[in-house]
Chain A
């Protein structure tokens, strides 16, 4: 087993563990004070105009009508059409849409090849279309094409527009250059060696079986190497928004659960209110022993 295979294992594991770490980190953060922002997508019958249960007189006596479908609809609309960018930043929309669709296609292909490899490793029959062919060629070329054009347009925009360039962080450029290098290596592999993605399928299936399938080409090796770098880095960057968006939307923007009997909120809050406080301002004078509720019950300076 060569370095490339070890690298592939390490980076795949790093990606999964990194994503899991981040997801667990956000999921286990303490309950926060409410900070919802309307429209809240699950407000049945009211989400279309941004209304809430607060519109009802004696709202605490009425049943709350919540719709998971409403949330899914908004998230899907956002993921598939980048609605917010379209409405508020139209110049960025086409580059961003192309870029994201390229990634969706390539991510889906990678996941399909990986899942196919796993299935074969545990004894299922291989799926014919995953073994390489026209469908995979078109799928890959389309993903790479959209991704490359999108990345180039985003890069030109970020470099060419003075306001955008000035407000960018070094990471914003590093990510785009990394994508370009990854796509260049992937194109190299596609054009010179693995147009049907049969080798990619074999390589991943080999990894799943614990066998070291030869990469067979320098371009392919470069592709795996850079992709690995990307995978291991991604969960620690702002690109993690691909899954942390669940928290920003679902756990903050749409988190409108009132503190009513049976919700368990009071019980959680009681624990948090007992945490020690060490803020130093004169009206707080937290000494690391006084609790949050002690300070809240004081009158200040």
Chain B
């Protein structure tokens, strides 16, 4: 007979029968600053309906990110568990996982469970320290399974590592648990040994995807697969994206009073700019501002209308090495075909890391076209004197969100700050910031994932610490009479802020606008009419 819940939770409990292993406790969530401290979290919480619970697996914490269906027969269950074991062995083999074998093995073999990582995790802290969100928890489940079923498993190793049963509960909860970590790797940064529990979440996702075909559908089916087939994870084929950009060009031309025309497929351009295509649909002022800035600065640039060439996203980064490689190779082939001098990635953090860092070693020389962050290009433009600025147009409180993939994973820390110090007189830092930043809570695909009741988990748990940090940066200035700006130069982070701010009515209660960096630059550029940033159209 299944218990309602198990408390307190230990690693080995993951396989035990319980309706919900460890539910989100709304009373224990980390507090928010006034006036948000009075909000009732229950209003944001969406309980999964009983019928839906019958359909999909939600026995970890009452949340379902994957809409995982229960096996219909013991044979199907057995096949899934055997698949898991086969995948585990592949994850620990050179042939199948040379890409991360060394870091994974080191992290599986050396955790001392000192819990130095725990307080670094915004999800663990934001949840009120729910045991299952502890960075070491899911990693320990995998450590125990690897000691039993991995290559080189033996009874002594298994006994010393600790017990865990491999059954449907473990399988399903582990798949979900791999999606309660944003892969921000703040835990890794804190570890004195260098153990990377964030990587273990990443590798778990790979095991489920690459062996069993289990992945968040927003990342796989309507994500990377759609990007490879249609051209973009947004579903926009080339003709539609060109139409949309033409519309944006018209809007921008109207705004600035001179003609803006985005160049397409210009062979030999200095810069191939690849935006996260989500910007084009959700924040058109961002690609618009890029077009204005690049045209005014006299940069030779182009967009690509090839399949995947106009969408920088690479969701494979979060769950599947092969999907990562497929999309990255498309980007490289397009750059080669156009003969550009470099690829510049727009304001999208994971796209930065995927194309510049993670895929770097799979490019042979002919496809190894230099890749660069838009932040450094923007710094070069802003500091070079090619444009003149009127910083007084940005005379409102501004704070900066550091996207994990650009900052902690790539070390791009100062260019955006030097720009802000030049164009935003009331810029202030969050605490902590730079490489010690907190994730927005939408990392690793969460920003695009809203199945079942997963969105309410994001609002209440994953984004909680970040929301507090943002509000704290404007302490004493939260009054809605003061317009203020959260500069977030990353599409996924903006997606998370859009949903988070909507859930908490942040704009209505504080007049806090979020947006990118390039919009702030254009807002302060001499020659652009005043009022590029528009609070009323948030």
Contacts and interface: CB of A to CB of B under 8 A. Distances in A.
A89 B119 CA distance: 8
Interface stretch (A138-146, A183-191, A200-208, A274-282): A274-282
B103 A167 contact: no
A67 interface: no
B90 interface: yes
A52 interface: yes
A170 B147 CA distance: 13
Give the size category of A's interface with B.
35 or more
Interface string A31-62: 11111111110010010011111111111100
Nearest to B156: A236
B477 interface: no
A300 interface: yes
Nearest to A84: B192
A297 B327 CA distance: 10
A30 B361 CA distance: 12
Nearest to B8: A166
Contacts of A249: 194
Given A57-B376, A245-B193, A280-B211, A38 B162 contact: no
A57 B380 contact: yes
Interface in B114-141: 114-120, 129, 131, 134, 136-137, 140
Contacts of B377: 57
Give the size category of B's interface with A.
35 or more
A282 B213 CA distance: 6
A97 B326 CA distance: 47
Given A52-B412, A169-B160, A244-B106, A58 B329 contact: no
Interface string A118-153: 000000000000000000000000000000000000
A297 B110 CA distance: 36
Contact of A88 (B119, B212, B225, B359): B119
A157 to B, nearest CB: 10
Interface stretch (A8-16, A101-109, A216-224, A261-269): A261-269
A55 B410 CA distance: 9
A248 B106 contact: yes
Contacts of B431: none
B328 to A, nearest CB: 9
A24 interface: no
Given A37-B408, A253-B194, A278 B96 contact: yes
A273 interface: yes
A292 B211 CA distance: 14
B194 A245 contact: yes
A44 to B, nearest CB: 13
B82 to A, nearest CB: 11
B116 A38 contact: no
Interface string B89-115: 010001110111111011101111111
B160 A275 contact: no
A60 B373 CA distance: 12
B414 interface: yes
A187 B113 CA distance: 28
Contact of A301 (B90, B110, B225): B225
B228 A299 contact: yes
Most buried by B among A57, A240, A301: A57
A181 interface: no
A34 B360 contact: yes
B122 to A, nearest CB: 13
Interface in B1-20: 8-11
B21 to A, nearest CB: 14
Contacts of A92: 114-116
Given A54-B356, A88-B117, A284-B322, A33 B99 contact: yes
Contacts of B411: 36, 38-40, 43, 46, 50-55
A96 B326 contact: no
B102 A251 contact: yes
Given A57-B376, A272-B98, A280-B86, A88 B194 contact: no
A35 B96 contact: no
A253 B191 CA distance: 11
Most buried by A among B105, B120, B228, B412: B412
Contacts of B90: 278-279
A30 B413 contact: no
Contact of B188 (A31, A37, A251, A277): A37
B191 A84 contact: yes
B57 interface: no
Interface stretch (B61-69, B239-247, B363-371, B493-501): B363-371
B360 A167 contact: no
Given A26-B105, A278-B95, A279-B90, A60 B112 contact: no
B491 interface: no
B96 A57 contact: no
A1 interface: no
Contacts of B94: 29-30, 275
A247 B376 contact: no
A269 B362 contact: yes
A140 B193 CA distance: 27
Nearest to A171: B160
A236 to B, nearest CB: 8
Given A85-B116, A269-B361, A55 B412 contact: yes
Nearest to B191: A84
B98 A275 contact: yes
Contacts of B503: none
B85 to A, nearest CB: 12
B225 A259 contact: no
Contact of A238 (B9, B99, B109, B131): B109
Contact of B100 (A32, A162, A298): A32
B358 interface: yes
A164 B113 CA distance: 8
B379 interface: yes
A283 interface: yes
B325 interface: yes
Given A84-B190, A240-B110, A248-B106, A167 B134 contact: yes
B413 A51 contact: yes
B347 to A, nearest CB: 15
Contact of B372 (A26, A58, A265, A278): A58
Interface of A: 26, 29-40, 43, 46, 49-60, 78, 82-85, 87-89, 92, 96, 162-164, 166-172, 174, 237-238, 240-241, 244-245, 247-249, 251-253, 258-259, 261, 265-266, 269-270, 272-273, 275-284, 286, 292, 295-301
9 contacts: A35-B358, A49-B435, A52-B410, A169-B113, A248-B103, A253-B194, A275-B98, A279-B90, A281-B209
Q: Which 4 A-B pairs have the closest CB atoms?
A: A52-B411, A248-B194, A50-B435, A296-B325
